[in-house]
């Protein structure tokens, strides 16, 4: 059996503040144990090395949480040590998620020098009222600055995360947001409608969202603008210029394999005999950090035949 491509997902779980719409494994913190966490990630990875089975890592994605809260020193150490443990493809795609509220010109340049070659910027909106409604820690000026920092740091590949269907948003406002993003000619845009997820503040206290007709109008306007600007749609909410699709996410959507390290990270690994395992690491950062070698995994299971058939 030919094994699928293999990626590496790294979860950095801390945020400056939890957003009311977020259902990811993120935890508010003011004092992040950076180097302790990096060392723990590396031990977690060592425990998973037997899952490589001779394959190279083709993509690497550092998500969260807010990875850009980490210092360039911590990210550099993490990437340098990973390179000593894993065979990395020469054309490795290495993405880091960044929040405009923690964006700094020097920090972005440091991430680039450390080996990150793709940033994913959580802009969400350029409208201060909408950002406030979303509970974001940044404002419109910081959103614009983050994109400018990314370009100045030398990131030829970057993504702008942009939402529509926001509390109090009109189709005119949604179009203005999208036009503001397109003005930067980003290689990649993740443009998606706000959804209310269980176990979020918005689920407990739902905000007033645009009506269905307004949402449909936003969607139609947005798709037209993106097509006119030359962006191809390759997934429900993913748009890019030719050659700039996110290889890491494409691997997910194509049922490829990925190692997952970090608090709450998930992984999926195929074996030459046809078996497929899915696993998840311990979710709470404190519990994850306290785990020793061999103790990071919370759940692991082998897919049955029906589940494997569903993968393809």
Residue 213 lies in a domain: yes
Side-chain-facing half-sphere of 263: CA atoms under 13 Å: 23
**What domain range includes position 236?**
6-311
Residue 225 per-residue DSSP state: H
Residue 1 lies in a domain: no
Residue 302 lies in a domain: yes
Q: Which of 220, 122, 236, 125 is nearest to 171 (CA)?
A: 220
CATH code assigned at 215? 3.80.30.20
Residue 288 lies in a domain: yes
Residue 166 lies in a domain: yes
The distance from CA 123 to its chain's CA centroid, rounded to whole angstroms, is 13
Determine contact, residues 270/257, Cβ cutoff 8 Å: yes
Q: pTM of the full predicted structure? A: 0.96
Distances in Å between the Cα of 37 and the Cα atoms of 31, 40, 127, 286, 309 are 12, 5, 35, 10, 37
Determine contact, residues 10/62, Cβ cutoff 8 Å: yes
Q: How many domains does the chain have?
A: 1
Residue 272 lies in a domain: yes
Q: What is the pLDDT along the chain (312 residues), one digit of tens a residue?
A: 789 999 999 999 999 999 999 999 999 987 999 999 999 999 999 999 999 888 999 999 999 999 999 999 999 999 999 999 999 999 999 999 999 999 999 999 999 999 999 999 999 999 999 999 999 999 999 999 999 999 999 999 999 999 999 999 999 999 999 999 999 999 999 999 999 999 999 999 999 999 999 999 999 999 999 999 999 999 999 999 999 999 999 999 999 999 999 999 999 999 999 999 999 999 999 999 999 899 999 999 999 877 777 665
Question: What is the C-alpha to C-alpha distance for residues 221 and 142, in angstroms, rounded to an integer?
Answer: 26
Beta 257-262 vs 6-12: how paired, if at all?
A: parallel
Side-chain-facing half-sphere of 140: CA atoms under 13 Å: 10
């Amino acid at each position: 059996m030919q094994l699928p491509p293999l990626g590496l997902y790294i979860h950095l779980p801390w945020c400056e503040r939890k957003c009311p719409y977020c259902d990811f494994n993120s935890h508010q913190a003011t004092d992040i144990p950076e180097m302790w966490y990096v060392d723990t990630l590396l031990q977690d990875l060592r425990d998973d090395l037997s899952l490589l089975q001779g394959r190279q890592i083709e993509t690497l994605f550092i998500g969260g949480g807010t990875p850009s809260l980490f210092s360039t020193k911590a990210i550099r150490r993490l990437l340098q040590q990973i390179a000593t443990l894993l065979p990395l493809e020469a054309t490795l795609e290495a993405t880091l998620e960044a929040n405009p509220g923690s964006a700094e010109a020097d920090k972005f340049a440091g991430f680039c020098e450390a080996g990150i070659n793709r940033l994913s910027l959580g802009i969400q909106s350029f409208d201060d009222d909408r950002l406030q409604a979303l509970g974001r820690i940044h404002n419109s000026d910081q959103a614009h600055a983050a994109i400018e920092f990314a370009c100045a740091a030398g990131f030829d590949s970057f993504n702008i995360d942009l939402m529509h269907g926001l509390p109090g948003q009109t189709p005119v406002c949604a179009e203005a947001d999208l036009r503001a993003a397109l003005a930067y000619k980003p290689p990649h845009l993740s443009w998606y409608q706000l959804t209310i997820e269980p176990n979020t503040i918005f689920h407990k206290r739902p905000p007033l969202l645009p009506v269905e007709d307004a949402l449909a109008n936003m969607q139609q306007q947005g798709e037209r603008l993106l097509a006119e600007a030359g962006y191809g749609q390759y997934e429900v909410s993913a748009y890019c210029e030719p050659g700039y699709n996110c290889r890491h996410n494409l691997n997910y959507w194509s049922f490829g394999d990925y190692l997952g390290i970090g608090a709450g990270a998930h992984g999926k690994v195929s074996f030459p005999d046809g078996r497929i395992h899915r696993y998840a690491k311990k979710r709470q950062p404190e519990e994850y950090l306290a785990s020793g070698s061999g103790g990071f995994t919370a759940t692991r299971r082998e897919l049955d035949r029906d589940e494997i058939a569903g993968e393809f």
